[in-house]
Amino acid sequence: MKTMDRRRFLGLAATGVAGAAGMTALSGCGRGPASGEVKLKLVAADYGNPGGENSSKIYWQKIADAFTKKNPDITVDVTVYSWTDIGKKLTAMVDAGNPPDIAQVDSYADWAAEGKLYKVSELLPIPVQAEFLVALAEAGEVRRVQYGLPFVASTRVLFYNKDLFKKAGLDPDEPPESWRELKSAAQALKSAGVKIPYGLPLGPEEAQGESLMWMLGNAGSYVDSVGNYTINSPENIETFKWLRDNLVAPGYTEPNPQRVDRQKMFEAFVKGDVGILNGHPTLMQQADKEHIAYGTGKLPGSSGPAEGTLGVADWMMAFNKNDKNGHREACGKFLAYVFEEKNHYAFTSQYGLLPVTTSASERMRKDEKQKKLWPFLDQLAGAEFYPVGKVSWAGTSATIKKSIGRAAMKGGDPNGVLTMLQRKAETEEESAPS
């Protein structure tokens, strides 16, 4: 997949997307040419290669054609953009007052807070709503009301290079389960001449993800159980002090992890230059392609395996601008069709992603061809997601991506960096639409 994780896996939410002019001709929708017909406009992201054989355009066009065959009074106009372009394209449409009827992207909270989206309860019957995994449905809520429909998901596991473990005298079937074991393995890998014992990507591509995985290993997170920011909690400060003193300062990572992007670490791993790192299903596909002998395990925690892991989802949503034209019912019908088991599973299985419905998840669990995804699937129900339902998260995440890596640098000040991020997050929260 052109991984959902690229930031994407919350690029739009994390960076804040800028509008562009001149997009109105591509957006909006209206009645079809004949009385009683509805034409829906769908804008989606491409998980494959745009214009290539695995482009998501092919999937969406098949779905649209099959849906119209069953519902002749509803047609669906499909537009698919690369992850590089979809943020600014979609934002331009919305800002111009001509949003699509349905969009599939990686954030939704801003538009929900502005009253531009249908509630999920306005779109789908209760049996369809009940199909979504609970953790994901809750992640689609803004102020306890669900607006975002999870589309696909991913979780993270620890990856390690078995050949490099053997070279370092480590058991290739025993991944480290605690921070102490991780440090010991990194030390052995360094002594064996491994270029990067532990890959720590705290650069701007996805620093918010790597950071959260480490926080979870020490009972920390970005928010507490009621959604208040806890970025500078004692647990999180302790986590970054440990990273600074036990991995970065001894030279078990790249010298400047705050400048290292996740994709760079993935590429180094599949070249055999990285001993251990956290990854998602895309890395598995890349490593298989390069014939890397790798193993996976749970994320290490401060005193044993972490109790949870990072979960990431991309989202679908329906804009309510055309409600007076009867598009709410048509949008609901189409979305219900998209999430039918066979249709939803066709997409997730093609791109190596995790289903978000109970029926499709059970199907993946029985599909031997998807056996390598089972460890990721096992973790999904208990995974922790970014607080994407907080309207302030977009700006907060963007700041985290730019700055949090400094907390783990040799000579860095975890308390100072995390407290600065906490204050900025609180400021974003106070200025968010109520």
- The mean pLDDT value for 407-411 works out to 96
**pLDDT for the residue numbered 288:** 94
What confidence tens digit (pLDDT) does each residue in 230-250 have? 999 999 999 999 999 999 999
Q: Is the pLDDT of residue 326 over 80?
A: no
Domain count, the chain: 2
- Pairing verdict, β 74-81 and 38-45: parallel
CA distance 167 to 162: 9
Residues 6+ apart with CB under 8 A from 254: 196, 199, 200, 260
Q: Is 221 domain-assigned?
A: yes
- The answer to whether residues 180 and 295 belong to one domain is yes
Look at residues 341, 359, 382 and tell me which one is the last residue of a structural domain.
382
**pLDDT for the residue numbered 323:** 67
Residue 416's φ and ψ, nearest 5 degrees, are -65, -45
Residues 6+ apart with CB under 8 A from 338: 63, 316, 344
What confidence tens digit (pLDDT) does each residue in 50-96 have? 777 889 999 999 999 999 999 999 999 999 999 888 988 999 999 99
- The answer to whether residues 194 and 139 belong to one domain is no
- The answer to whether residues 143 and 57 belong to one domain is yes
CA distance 87 to 102: 14
**pLDDT for the residue numbered 433:** 73
Q: Is 38 domain-assigned?
A: yes
- The mean pLDDT value for 137-142 works out to 92
Picking from 164, 173, 181, the residue whose alpha carbon sits closest to that of residue 273 is 164
- The answer to whether residues 298 and 344 belong to one domain is no
- The answer to whether residues 286 and 324 belong to one domain is no
- The answer to whether residues 375 and 397 belong to one domain is no
- The answer to whether residues 318 and 304 belong to one domain is no
Q: Is 349 domain-assigned?
A: yes
Q: Is 353 domain-assigned?
A: yes
Residue 177: strand, helix, or coil: coil
- The answer to whether residues 23 and 126 belong to one domain is yes
- The answer to whether residues 180 and 325 belong to one domain is no
What confidence tens digit (pLDDT) does each residue in 160-215 have? 999 999 999 999 999 999 999 999 999 999 999 999 999 999 999 889 999 999 99
**pLDDT for the residue numbered 283:** 92
Residue 418's φ and ψ, nearest 5 degrees, are -70, -35
**pLDDT for the residue numbered 36:** 55
Q: Which pLDDT band, with edges at 50, 70 and 90, does 12 fall under? A: very low
- The mean pLDDT value for 416-425 works out to 98
Task: Indicate the angle between helix axes 327-338 and 341-351, nearest 10 degrees.
Answer: 60
Residues 6+ apart with CB under 8 A from 124: 149, 332, 335, 336
Contact (CB, 8 A) for 373 and 366: no
Contact (CB, 8 A) for 4 and 86: no
- The answer to whether residues 234 and 206 belong to one domain is yes
- SS3 letters across the chain: CCCCCCCCCCHHHHHCCCCCCCCHHHCCCEECCCCCCEEEEEEEECCCCCCCCCCHHHHHHHHHHHHHHHCCCEEEEEEEECHHHHHHHHHHHHHCCCCCCEEEECCCHHHHHCCCECCHHHCCCHHHHCCECHHHHHHCEECCEECCEEEEEEECEEEEEHHHHHHCCCCCCCCCCEHHHHHHHHHHHHHCCCCEEECCCCCCCCHHHHHHHHHHCCCCCCECCCCCECCCCHHHHHHHHHHHHHHHCCCCCCCCHHHCCHHHHHHHHHCCCEEEEEECHHHHHHHHHCCCCEEEECCEECCCECCCCEEEEEEEEEECCCHHHCHHHHHHHHHHHHCCHHHHHHHHHHHCCECCEHHHHHHHHHCHHHHHHHHHHHHHCCCEECCCCCCCHHHHHHHHHHHHHHHHCCCCCHHHHHHHHHHHHHHHHHHCCC
What confidence tens digit (pLDDT) does each residue in 332-373 have? 999 999 999 999 999 999 998 999 999 999 999 999 999 999
- The mean pLDDT value for 35-58 works out to 86
Q: Is 3 domain-assigned?
A: no
- The answer to whether residues 235 and 355 belong to one domain is no
What confidence tens digit (pLDDT) does each residue in 249-298 have? 999 999 999 999 998 999 999 999 999 999 998 899 899 999 999 999 99
Q: Is the pLDDT of residue 322 over 70?
A: no
Residue 75's φ and ψ, nearest 5 degrees, are -110, 155
Task: Indicate the angle between helix axes 414-431 and 234-243, nearest 10 degrees.
Answer: 140
- The answer to whether residues 257 and 396 belong to one domain is yes
Q: Is 6 domain-assigned?
A: no
User: To the nearest whole percent, how much of the chain has pLDDT over 90?
Assistant: 79
Q: Is 387 domain-assigned?
A: no
Average pLDDT of every residue of the chain = 89
pTM metric for this prediction:
0.83
Domain residue limits at 272: 157-309+392-431
CATH number of the domain at 199, please: 3.40.190.10
